[in-house]
Structures are given as C-alpha cells and as structure tokens.
Amino acid sequence: MTEQQQDPEAEQAEVSRRRRAGIVAFVVGLVGGLAFFGFFPGLPHVIDWGAILVSVVVGGLARWACQGWMARSAKKPERRV
C-alpha cells in the first residue's frame, strides 16, 4: 500500500486551523476563569492577581486539551460503517 501524502497547502491549512482553535480555547478558558471569580456567589467580587494567574493557567490547560484532542482526532483513521 502507498502512504497518503498531503500537499504542503493542506498541511499548512491544518496547522493554521489548529493554531486558531488553540487561541480560541485559551481565550475561552481565560474569560471563563475570570467570569467565575468575578460573578460566582460567595466569592469576593474582586479580580486580584491570584484570580488572573489562575485564569491564565485555566486558559493554558484549555489550549493544551484542545490541541491534544485535535492531534488525537487527526491521527485516527475515519471508519464509516
């Protein structure tokens, strides 16, 4: 069997799509973390440096999870029944 090779444009498009998805995941995690600390009842409604750092970490974890999920789904061959 011959291996399927992607052309450089398709590979570049895939890299670009993964980068955009990673940026979106980071922003969603960051905003979600800040929203949690800003609006969750019972917490002081003050965004301090600790909340900002935790939100950045949450954004980084969201980006990491998104990149891993996309890489894992790209490696799986499509099996249709």
Q: Is residue 66 part of a domain?
A: yes
Q: Is residue 12 part of a domain?
A: no
- pTM value? 0.73
Q: Residue 65 is part of which domain span? A: 31-71
At 4, give phi and psi (nearest 5°).
Answer: -80, 130
Q: Is residue 23 part of a domain?
A: no
How confident is the model over 21-53, as pLDDT tens digits? 999 999 999 999 988 888 876 766 667 888 889
CB 54 within 8 A of CB 29: no
| Cα 61 from chain centroid (whole Å) | 7
CB atoms within 10 A of CB 75: 7
Work out the percent of the chain whose per-residue pLDDT is above 90: 33
Q: How far apart are CA 34 and CA 36, in angstroms?
A: 5
Total number of domains in the chain: 1
Q: Is residue 46 part of a domain?
A: yes
Q: Is residue 16 part of a domain?
A: no
- H/E run at residue 13: helix 8-39
